[in-house]
Amino acid sequence: MNRVRQLFAQELWSPYLAGGLLGVVGLLAVGLSNHLLGASGGFENLAGIAGQAVAPATFDNVYFNFVMPAVITWNVVLLAGIFFGGTLGALSAGKFRWRTMPDKQWVEVFGASRVKRWGIAFGGAAVLQYAAGIAGGCTSGLAISGGMLLAPAAFLFIAGMFASGIVTAMIVYRGRF
Amino acid sequence: MENWWIALLLGVVFGFLLNKAGLTSYHKIVNVFRLTDMAVLKFMMSGLVVAMIGLYAMRGLGWIVFPAVPATYVVGNLAGGLIFGVGMALSGFCPGTCVAGAGEGKLDYLIPGILGFLTGAAAFGLTYEMVFPQISRLAAYGNVTIGQLWNIDSWLAIGLFSAMSLFLFYLIDRGLIRKDRLSSAK
């Protein structure tokens, strides 16, 4: 029991342990509710709900009525869970803290400007979500959930993601890559 | 309703594991692309190996049926991945890790991050009919698995992927990564 408590209080776990357990979560999602884990799908439902509340005519289309309906789905509830899981993880190690900037490495490369960080976070997120739409899922919904079913789509996505991620990091970090 | 409790519970464990693996930090995500810290790769590949073996074993025993396999349409899967990598290397998060990080009190994840995802989602939904049917028709194979597509035993693919992962883990842990020369890395 003490060892379990110690493990929970530890800030970082071995990525092999955490990743292996994530595999179990992926299994349980299929075994218990015949669903795939996936974060980007829930954002599509939420955007539809918000959009139909603000501009009902614009958001009254095939996509938000049938493809990714503007309602609370299994994936939206999953998103809420992921949020509180993050809170629980931070609390368990005594690391919960409100903060507006990422770690030292960001500051070393991009400087301490909050406007710059928040701008890149917003733009990056919009790009990520649109890309996930085109690909058919994100890191969880396509790479992991598709990969575990052996869908070729997942491995194409992972290859593309690493190729452009490496090139982007090279450009951003230049001499410090 | 019962399903939603499962979704909530699995989500909590998912977010918790992302936090414990450190993937809710900017540097963990970016450094996998700089090849100086391979935690993201280790996390993903360990998860894949465990889930692949478990899923195919459970299906073999007749305990589960697979949900719809994500569709393979080569150009879209690859192009989406290419654009996704740019966003991930710039922001240092992806949809799941951003939500978990927001839960840790990271306001740059909670406010611009989540608003950005909603904006991207609205943009995709509103342009869907112009973009998606075209791109998903190119080199499309439908909801297939590697085993069905290449007519091989799925266990062969699982065995190869597992062996490749273990070999890669061995090489990484033996020191096959780049040294980080940033001062914040010390």
Question: A145, B70 in Cβ contact below 8 A?
Answer: yes
User: How far does B126 lie from chain A, in Å, by closest CA?
Assistant: 7
- Cβ pair A81:B12 closer than 8 A: yes
Q: Which residues of B touch A34 (CB under 8 A)?
A: 64-65, 67
Q: Assess whether pLDDT exceeds 70 at residue B1.
A: no
pTM for this prediction: 0.96
Spacing of C-alpha B88 from chain mean position: 11
CA distance B129 to A14: 43
User: How far does B177 lie from chain A, in Å, by closest CA?
Assistant: 13
Instruction: Considering only the beta carbons, identify the residue of A47, A118, A144 that sits closest to B118.
Output: A47
CB contact, 8 Å: B154 with chain A? yes
Residue B114: what pLDDT? 98
CB contact, 8 Å: B13 with chain A? yes
What percent of chain B lies above the pLDDT cut of 70? 98
CB contact, 8 Å: B36 with chain A? no
Record the tokens describing residue A26, joined without a space: 């992926």
Residue B13: what pLDDT? 98
User: How far does B18 lie from chain A, in Å, by closest CA?
Assistant: 7
Q: What residue type is B141 in one-letter code?
A: Y
Q: pLDDT tens digits for B110-125? A: 999 999 999 999 999 9
CA distance A42 to A73: 7
Q: pLDDT tens digits for A34-92? A: 999 999 999 999 999 999 999 999 999 999 999 999 999 999 999 999 999 999 999 99
Question: B43, A22 in Cβ contact below 8 A?
Answer: yes
For chain B, give the number of residues: 186
Confidence of residue A33 (pLDDT cuts 50, 70, 90): very high
Q: Which residues of A touch B33 (CB under 8 A)?
A: 162, 165-166, 168-169
Question: What's chain B's average pLDDT?
Answer: 96
Record the tokens describing residue A152, joined without a space: 């070729």
Confidence of residue B2 (pLDDT cuts 50, 70, 90): low
* Cα→Cα distances A149→B71, B144, B145, Å: 11, 9, 7
CB contact, 8 Å: B164 with chain A? no
**Residue partners of B100: CB distance under 8 A and separation at least 6:** A82, A83, A85, A86, A89, B14, B15, B16, B18, B19, B23, B24
Confidence of residue B69 (pLDDT cuts 50, 70, 90): very high
Residue A2: what pLDDT? 86
Q: pLDDT tens digits for B116-173? A: 999 999 999 999 999 999 999 999 999 999 999 999 999 999 999 999 999 999 999 9
Q: Which residues of A touch B101 (CB under 8 A)?
A: 86
Q: Which residues of B touch A58 (CB under 8 A)?
A: 126
Question: If you average pLDDT over residues A17-21, what whole number do you get?
Answer: 98
The interface predicted TM-score (ipTM) is: 0.96
Record the tokens describing residue A104, joined without a space: 């030292």
Spacing of C-alpha A146 from chain mean position: 15
Record the tokens describing residue B159, joined without a space: 């065995």
Residue A137: what pLDDT? 96
Question: What's chain A's average pLDDT?
Answer: 96
Q: pLDDT tens digits for A109-158? A: 999 999 999 999 999 999 999 999 999 999 999 999 999 999 999 999 99
